[in-house]
Structure 1
């Protein structure tokens, strides 16, 4: 299958493109140290009925991400663009860069209309990686993406869900929820680790949407 390409204005990808993307997410999962407790498959974590969420902001123009900050997790990580590997799977950040986040460069840029996708490892053979605490985020908490055009896109967490491999619906997990809205998905491995298969049983997906923007440096 050929590599999917971004469409003008960050429109949703075709089903075939989503299928390639999802297979890529399932195929990287070699971490072995374990994952923090996570919500049930396809459901929000308990107690995620928090305060009323702010209104969405109008999307920004497209600009490449340079850094992602998740203040409540102490995450301040560089971002690199990633594509598909030779097997047609999404190529995560190299394992020797456990503190780096990968942005799926064929999709929308964070802050532009559509759902931008960022992936990161949950752990390594010896220690937690950049997205280890992802499943503990709560609605209303903030994610900030510093962009190459010297703007910072601020996203508000909408929910955190865990999607098991069985019966997985890529559009539900990664597709835009509100037409024309700028959205963000942070994705890492979750569920149980199968040593024989060399992968986790699920993905943790944090869904957020653009609620603010300002000026800021893109350096880490």
Structure 2
């Protein structure tokens, strides 16, 4: 049975993502942003800057922002992510709709916000798991500074990003500006967000979120190999 057929699986996905997409939706709305048991042990416990940026990791210089275009696919080779992207909006409660329950291997992008490659943070959310199996961002907590993120866009180009920060934000110390705001003004950035921390069976939810930050470091036509 798949998660799409399993009501319990639906509940796990909803509980596991509802609080983060709600916080994200309310922050976006307020700022008017325009510029199981688990299938394993990938969700990690921790606090702000649980991973962060280790000293001595050389990172490439940022690329100037480029003309924005909607994303079609996202790849993070170091953690095995290669997934289609769907635009998501806000629901009647002001929350960003997560990816569909019947598509746990799909990534959601806030379509009314920044397009990847343009100046500002483009926001992506994905499920960490279902009641029975890993979902698209199951390995997100294993991402490390220096990892590459490639976003295939509707204009036929691939925007290349480099991870510069990985954080685990607990509910108690959650800071929406820290999670979703620009890390450096003027850069093209993205955020990859999923559930993390400890899964609580009683509330059927996680107590933290993994937030991966990356910034634009290149652009190429689709089909050309990266450097």
TM-score using structure 1 length: 0.82
Change (3 A) 1:69 1:18: closer
8 Å contact kept, 1:98–1:121: yes
Q: Secondary structure at the match of 1:78?
A: strand
1:88 is displaced (CA, Å) by: 2.1
| 2:55 paired with 1:49 | yes
Hey, what's the Cα distance between the residues in 1 that align with 2:37 and 2:91? 22
1:14-163 map, 5 Å = 20-21=26-27, 32-33=37-38, 35-36=41-42, 38=44, 40-45=46-51, 48-49=54-55, 51-163=57-169
2:211 aligned to which of 202, 205, 210: 205
8 Å contact kept, 1:154–1:212: yes
Q: Give 1 or 2: higher helix fraction.
A: 2
Unmatched runs of 5 consecutive residues or more in structure 2: 1-22, 30-35
Hey, what's the Cα distance between the residues in 2 that align with 1:151 and 1:114? 18
Q: Secondary structure at the match of 1:59?
A: coil
1:39 is displaced (CA, Å) by: 6.2
Moved more, 190-199 or 200-209: 190-199
Deviation digits for residues 169-206 of structure 1, max 9, x if unmatched?
10011100111100010000001112222221111000
1:192 aligned to which of 192, 195, 198: 198
1:3-18 map, 5 Å = none
Deviation digits for residues 70-125 of structure 1, max 9, x if unmatched?
11112110000001123222110012101100001121011110001100000011
Moved more, 169-178 or 48-57: 48-57
8 Å contact kept, 2:129–2:138: yes
Hey, what's the Cα distance between the residues in 1 that align with 2:78 and 2:132? 23
Change (3 A) 1:130 1:91: same
Count of paired positions:
194
TM-score using structure 2 length: 0.79
8 Å contact kept, 1:66–1:147: yes
Unmatched runs of 5 consecutive residues or more in structure 1: 1-16, 24-30
